[in-house]
Every structure is written in C-alpha cells, then in structure tokens.
Chain A
Amino acid sequence: SAVISQKPSRDICQRGTSLTIQCQVDSQVTMMFWYRQQPGQSLTLIATANQGSEATYESGFVIDKFPISRPNLTFSTLTVSNMSPEDSSIYLCSVAVPEAFFGQGTRLTVV
C-alpha cells in the first residue's frame, strides 16, 4: 500500500487567482496521477506526472490551466491557474503500485 498526504485539505479562492496543491507519498513511485471530482460526480483523470519528464494530459485538460511539477519520486504539485467557479471541485492525487491509492483530496471552492 501507499500513504499519500495532500495539502491543503481545502481552500476558498478568489476567481482569477491560482492555487498549488501538494502531494507527498511515503515511498518512491514512478508515476503519480491527478484526478478531479466535480460536485456530485465521479473521478476524472487530469494528467499523469512522471519524474524527469513533462506531465501527460488527458483530453480536455491543458498544461496552461493545470501545470504539474514532479521534482522527485515522492512528490508532485498541481496548480489550478486563473480559477473560475467552474474549477470548484475536489482534486485528488493517486499512485499505482499497481493498485491505485488516493490522497484525502483538496476541496477547492472558487468564489
């Protein structure tokens, strides 16, 4: 298994600003994944973060809006840029070892 810590657990942000979410894993992993869970919805994959290379984004998600860093094998960040109310969601990071474990999520509200 893997223990994943996310910060912050929640935030309320003004539209037009950016928020960076941190994800720390208790073991080294090759790939980390970022998901979004919109209110009342299931999880949708945003991107895959590999250490030492650019993140790969799923259809409908772009680097300018969701830049990702992966400086080492235990840490990643996701930034939600130029936020609008439509970005209000829970953002979750995940690792696959191979079964997938999730952090507790970051509940973002954009006002």
Chain B
Amino acid sequence: QKEVEQDPGPLSVPEGAIVSLNCTYSNSAFQYFMWYRQYSRKGPELLMYTYSSGNKEDGRFTAQVDKSSKYISLFIRDSQPSDSATYLCAMGNAGGTSYGKLTFGQGTILTVHP
C-alpha cells in the first residue's frame, strides 16, 4: 500500500463545475499538507498549504484536512479551462531529519472544457 493514495483518475468537467480532488494517507506522522498544480512541461506550483485539520480557502480553492480520517481534499469552484493541469497532493513530517521531505500522491489530470 502506498503511503499516499490520490483519486480520482483523469477527470474531465465542464467549465463552471465544482471539482473535488482527494488524497488518503497512512502515515500518521504527516503534519503538513500541500496541493500543487503542474502544467505540462512546468514545475509544480504551490496552491495551498496547511498544518491543521479544517478548511482553508483561497479564492476559488478550498483545502480540507481531516487528520483523524487521514484524508485531505481540494475543491475548485467555478472551474475554468485555465485550471486544466495535473494536481498533486503532498504531505510531510515537520520533525527532525524529515523536515522538508515530501511524499506525493500520484496526481490527478484535470481537464476543464469550455
């Protein structure tokens, strides 16, 4: 079993839809959680970063963390064609020698149709 499992697989939605991306993890030592967007032939771009359980909102993006269930989500409201990219969840342990090291989910390829 992978430490981080990301779903869904490739996702295609119409413009304006609400998108839900999810990751589950098995390592209870993970303390911080991030979502990245990666356009083709580009490096990952940080979208959301959080330490705590609960919701964090930034514009059209909402990150949700449930540490008790080991589950994180990213919601995209009013999706746009420019949101078409690969979305990666990532998580890490802030302690000691693990500081800064991230474990990534497999990624979800999102396509938003005009």
Contact = CB atoms under 8 A, between A and B. Distances in A.
B and A form one assembly: yes
B62 interface: no
28 contacts: A4-B43, A6-B43, A31-B99, A41-B106, A42-B88, A42-B105, A43-B88, A44-B104, A45-B102, A48-B101, A92-B43, A94-B102, A95-B100, A96-B92, A96-B100, A98-B94, A98-B100, A99-B46, A100-B46, A100-B90, A100-B92, A101-B46, A102-B43, A102-B44, A102-B45, A102-B46, A104-B42, A107-B41
Interface of A: 4, 6, 31, 33, 41-45, 48, 56, 92, 94-96, 98-105, 107
Contacts of B104: 42-44
Interface in B72-107: 88, 90, 92, 94, 97, 99-107
Contacts of B100: 31, 33, 48, 94-96, 98, 100
A44 B103 CA distance: 7
Contacts, number: 59
A35 to B, nearest CB: 8
Q: What is the predominant secondary structure among interface residues of chain A facing chain B?
A: strand
Nearest to B4: A42
Interface residues of B, number: 24
B87 to A, nearest CB: 11
Contacts of A103: 43
Contacts of B65: none
